Amino acid sequence: MKAVVTQDLTKTYANGVRALVGLTLEVEPGTIFGFLGPNGSGKTTTVRLLNGTLSPTRGTAQVLGLAPDSEAVRLKTATLAELARMYDHLTVAANLRFFARLYGMDRAAADRKIGGLLAALELDGRLEQKLGTLSTGLQKRVYLARTLLNDPEVAFLDEPTSGLDPESALQVTELIRALARERGTTVFLCTHNLPLAERICDAYGFLHQGSLVASGTTEDLVRGVSEPLRVRVTTFEGVHESVIRGEEEINGLVRSIMDAGERVRDVRVMRPDLEALYFHYLGKASR
Amino acid sequence: MNGQRVRAVMAKDLREIGANPMVVIPMTLVPAVICVVIPTVILVVALGAGAARGVHGLEQVEKLIVVYPVPAALTEPLHRMLYVILNYTFLPMFMIVPLMMASLISANAIVGEKERRTLETLLCTPLTNRELIVSKLLVSFLPAVTLSWAVFGAFFLVTNGVSLAMIHQWIVRSWIWLPSLLLLSPSVSMMALSLTLLVSLKARTFQSAQQVAALVVVPLVAVVLAQVTGAVILNALYVVLASLALFAAAAVLILRVLPRFTREAIVSTL
């Protein structure tokens, strides 16, 4: 069973704005799916449709095989919305205990869970501090702890690193990676932080003006790029960079360099990185 | 409906209210001034300076207040007047307490959560729409009514303490307070709540929601004026009828608003 399946998912708001158009997507369980796109491209709308806070104008969505607006889905999933906050006037403990109760935990179970999460998120000693007194980075970690309280099978994380300094962003990213790897949680990660997405995501979807312009693993996305490949051949005598039309041309290129009397040390195909792929597909969609 | 989740939201809201000075200060100061300080000052000034120098215009007031059932033990015109003012004229003013408390707490609990961007976090939990609304209504209604009873207790003790000390008579002792506290106060709270709920659908800030909901105070002021001019003579039957009418109006309003209070409607005004 796929973690997330959408078919022609479309959302037009009451004011006529078409936020999402015909999104058809599948997310494999246990993977980190990077949902990438510029501001206003429809990422947050997609998350809200998948966690049942919005209803689609057209099309369908299933999360863990269930309709997103069901209580069962909300019990098995968690959302870290970009702008959503917790209660600044309450302590970290009071905040987390409150959300634990909403997931049906009693006080003892909640305290055990909270203790474990705070230790994992390096928030020991912050339990009795008021949330509003913590730095943005620490608050984000508390939000992440709240997201993990119910051991979600699917976690929707909308810009979890926004507003964080690079070091905190990296820490949060590593925590997300650990969450997916250790707990088998499917992570639906909305972000426009491409370097961080590239560090942890298994597959991607590129969203542009409400439409999905490309999706798949890095290999899938590279295959879709029709531009020529660049190959760098390093020899003991120097470096040769060439443009070829396909990988089948590599052998011929290397042989011609060797025939010229050079000794080959390394051959590297210069694949486009995520940023290059992202701008390639978004640029293509804009044209 | 999951009772644990409803109780959790209520407990959280109460803790939040207690930690928010923007709610706590008006919740304590306004009732204290309206229901304890002002009546006490009226009583002390009237019984002290007023009795010594005589109260001008008392004859006109006497004509007006003869229609009220003043206890025979109060023979002095000034004492009779104070009895009518503190038990009847003051009653609609007293209802500002449950009204204000209900609109203040519910505006904070619903629109305040929107404004502080915490409501979306709640909407992503298993809490159902019904559980959300029921918890928000209960956490506003119960403290509003309880507080109005507590404020009446303080008003009763302070004013009667002063009058017992100065004229050896209980001044606040009309039976009209019984239906007022048991029926009118809860119905006024319900009405304020239903209006706040309606306003909450569109309002984006706590203050705007509270200001619109507080318009319910206008009829109360009208009742006070009508009483002063003699156009309305309050009695227990009117209080019961007004309470029933308010309960019915509030129930209709809540039942009409509830189906519109969906997650989508809330999120679209964030």
Q: How many beta carbons lie within 10 A of that of residue A221, not counting itself?
A: 22
Residues of chain A with pLDDT under 70: 226-228, 285-287
What is the per-residue pLDDT for A31? 92
- Residues 80-119, chain B: which have Cβ within 8 Å of A? 116-118
Q: Does B1 touch chain A (CB under 8 A)?
A: no
Rg (CA), chain A: 23
Cβ pair B120:A52 closer than 8 A: no
What is the per-residue pLDDT for A12? 93
Nearest Cβ partner of B267 from A48, A75, A98? A48
Measure CA A199 to chain center.
Answer: 10
> Domain ranges in chain B?
3-267
Q: Specify the CATH class of A4-222 in words.
A: alpha beta
Are B181 and B148 in contact, with CB atoms under 8 Å apart?
yes
A267 three-class SS: strand
Residue A21 identity: V
Cβ pair B125:A99 closer than 8 A: yes
Got the DSSP string for A28-47?
Answer: -TT-EEEEE--TTSSHHHHH
Q: Does A107 touch chain B (CB under 8 A)?
A: no
Q: Does B221 touch chain A (CB under 8 A)?
A: no
Q: Among all chains, which residue has been given the structure tokens 């206003």?
A: A40
Residues of chain B with pLDDT under 50: none
- Residues B26, B31: Cα–Cα separation, whole Å: 8
Task: Find the residue in A nearest to B15 (Cα).
Answer: A90
For residue A94, which residues of chain B lie inside 8 Å, CB to CB?
12, 15
What is the per-residue pLDDT for B219? 81
Q: Among candidates A129, A121, A78, which has minimal Cα distance to A99?
A: A78
Nearest Cβ partner of B123 from A14, A53, A83? A53
Number of H helices, E strands in chain A: 10, 12
Cβ pair B116:A85 closer than 8 A: yes
Q: Does A84 touch chain B (CB under 8 A)?
A: yes
Cβ pair A54:B263 closer than 8 A: yes
Are B190 and B246 in contact, with CB atoms under 8 Å apart?
yes
Task: Find the residue in A nearest to B120 (Cα).
Answer: A84
Q: Among candidates A203, A227, A201, which has minimal Cα distance to A279?
A: A227
Cβ pair A102:B20 closer than 8 A: no
Helix (H) or strand (E) holding B184: none
Task: Find the residue in A nearest to B109 (Cα).
Answer: A87
What is the per-residue pLDDT for A196? 86
- Residues B25, A146: Cα–Cα separation, whole Å: 31
Nearest Cβ partner of A102 from B118, B127, B264? B127
Q: Does B11 touch chain A (CB under 8 A)?
A: yes
- Residues A129, A108: Cα–Cα separation, whole Å: 20
**Bridge pairing between strands A154-158 and A186-191:** parallel
What is the per-residue pLDDT for A219? 84
What is the per-residue pLDDT for A51? 92
> Domain ranges in chain A?
4-222, 228-271
What is the per-residue pLDDT for A130? 93
Instruction: Please report the ipTM that was assigned to this predicted complex.
Output: 0.81
The pTM of the full predicted model, rounded to 2 decimals, is 0.82
What is the per-residue pLDDT for A243? 81
